C-alpha cells in the first residue's frame, strides 16, 4: 500500500519540523516537502507528486486562503487540509469556499491529525470538534440573518437619511470608508458610524446582499 504524500506550508520552520517529526510515526504518511512560503510551495508542487497539502491560514506575503485558491485551480487532484489556530466560522467558511476539504486546529493530537490526513486523502471532509461547532453556529446565525434580510426585503420600512444614501451610494461603487470620508469631507469615524446604521437598518453588512435589497426596494 502506497503512503499518503503530504506537503506542509507554515510560516514557522520550528512548527514544520515538529509536524514532520510527528508524522514520521505513521506508516501510512510520508512528508515529501515543506515550505514557509506559499509562492515557493506552488513552485515545488509543480515538480512533486502530492496527495494532501497541509497549510496554515495566517502567513505573510501569501495567505493560506490565497494559496488554496491557486492550488485548487492549478492542482485539482491535491486535497487541502487546513491546520490553523483559528476556529471562528468566518475563517472556516473562507477556506472551505476555496477548496479545503478538512480543517483541524493546531492544538490537535497526533491521532486526530493522522486521521484527518487519511480522510481528506480519500476526498472526504474532516473537521475538528471545535470547528464543527463553529460551522453549526455559523449556519444558525446565517439563517437568522437571512430571515431578517427577507423580512426587510418584503417590507417598505427601510428609511435612510440623505447622508446615509450618499454613503451607501459610494459603498456600492466600491469606495472604502476612508475614501468616502475624503469625498464627503467627513471623518473616518463618522463614515463608519453611518455604515453601521445602514447595515442595522437593512439587516446585513454584506455589500452584495445590500445591493440586492437596494435594487428591489429602490432605496437610492
Quick one: which of 139, 51, 149 has its CA closest to 101?
51
Query: 114 and 74 in one domain?
Result: yes
Q: Does pLDDT of 79 surpass 90?
A: yes
In a domain, 134, yes or no: no
With beta carbons less than 8 A apart as the criterion, state whether 61 and 38 touch.
yes
Q: Does pLDDT of 76 surpass 90?
A: yes
Q: Which of 71, 94, 129 is the last residue of a domain?
A: 129
Query: 98 and 50 in one domain?
Result: yes
Determine the structural domain holding residue 44 and report its residue range: 4-129
Query: 113 and 19 in one domain?
Result: yes
Query: 111 and 16 in one domain?
Result: yes
Query: What pLDDT, in 10s, does the model give residues 132-187?
Result: 888 877 766 555 555 555 555 554 567 889 899 999 999 998 888 988 988 898 99
Q: Which of 78, 99, 129 is the last residue of a domain?
A: 129
Whats the size of the chain, residue-wise?
Answer: 220
What per-residue confidence (pLDDT) applies to 143? 54
Query: What pLDDT, in 10s, does the model give residues 6-46?
Result: 999 999 999 999 999 999 989 999 999 999 999 999 999 99
Query: 20 and 99 in one domain?
Result: yes
Query: 122 and 148 in one domain?
Result: no
Q: Which of 95, 129, 163 is the last residue of a domain?
A: 129
In a domain, 137, yes or no: no
Spatial distance between the Cα atoms of 174 and 170, rounded to a whole number of angstroms: 7
Query: 99 and 160 in one domain?
Result: no
Query: 204 and 96 in one domain?
Result: no
Query: 157 and 76 in one domain?
Result: no
Spatial distance between the Cα atoms of 133 and 50, rounded to a whole number of angstroms: 30
- Compute the half-sphere exposure of residue 47: CA atoms within 13 Å on the CB side of its CA: 6
Tell me how many domains the chain contains. 2
Query: 112 and 61 in one domain?
Result: yes
Query: 113 and 41 in one domain?
Result: yes
CATH at 207 = 1.10.10.10
Q: Does pLDDT of 199 surpass 80?
A: yes
What per-residue confidence (pLDDT) applies to 207? 87
Query: 188 and 98 in one domain?
Result: no
What per-residue confidence (pLDDT) applies to 36? 95
What per-residue confidence (pLDDT) applies to 74? 95
Query: What pLDDT, in 10s, does the model give residues 107-126?
Result: 999 999 999 999 999 999 99
Q: What are 91's three cell numbers? A: 475563517
pTM value is 0.64
What per-residue confidence (pLDDT) applies to 22? 92
Q: Is 50 helix (H, G, I), strand (E, B) or coil?
A: coil
In a domain, 138, yes or no: no
Amino acid at each position: 500500500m502506497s503512503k499518503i504524500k503530504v506537503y506542509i506550508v507554515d510560516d514557522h520552520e520550528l512548527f514544520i519540523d515538529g509536524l514532520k517529526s510527528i508524522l514520521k510515526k505513521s506508516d501510512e504518511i510520508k512528508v515529501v516537502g515543506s515550505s514557509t512560503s506559499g509562492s515557493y510551495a506552488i513552485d515545488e508542487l509543480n515538480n512533486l507528486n502530492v496527495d494532501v497539502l497541509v497549510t496554515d491560514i495566517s502567513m505573510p506575503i501569501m495567505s493560506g486562503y490565497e494559496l488554496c485558491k491557486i492550488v485548487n485551480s492549478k492542482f485539482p487532484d491535491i486535497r487541502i487540509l487546513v491546520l490553523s489556530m483559528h476556529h471562528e466560522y468566518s475563517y472556516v467558511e473562507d477556506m472551505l469556499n476555496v477548496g479545503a476539504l478538512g480543517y483541524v486546529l493546531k492544538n490537535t493530537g497526533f491521532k486526530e491529525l493522522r486521521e484527518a490526513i487519511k480522510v481528506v486523502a480519500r476526498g472526504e471532509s474532516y473537521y475538528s470538534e471545535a470547528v464543527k461547532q463553529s460551522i453549526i453556529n455559523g449556519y444558525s446565525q446565517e439563517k437568522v440573518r437571512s430571515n431578517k434580510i427577507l423580512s426587510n426585503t418584503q417590507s417598505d420600512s427601510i428609511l435612510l437619511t440623505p447622508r446615509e444614501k450618499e454613503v451607501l451610494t459610494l459603498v456600492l461603487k466600491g469606495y472604502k470608508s476612508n475614501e468616502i470620508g475624503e469625498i464627503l469631507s467627513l471623518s473616518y469615524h463618522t463614515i463608519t458610524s453611518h455604515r453601521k446604521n445602514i447595515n442595522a437598518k437593512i439587516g446585513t453588512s454584506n455589500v452584495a446582499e445590500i445591493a440586492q435589497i437596494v435594487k428591489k426596494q429602490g432605496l437610492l
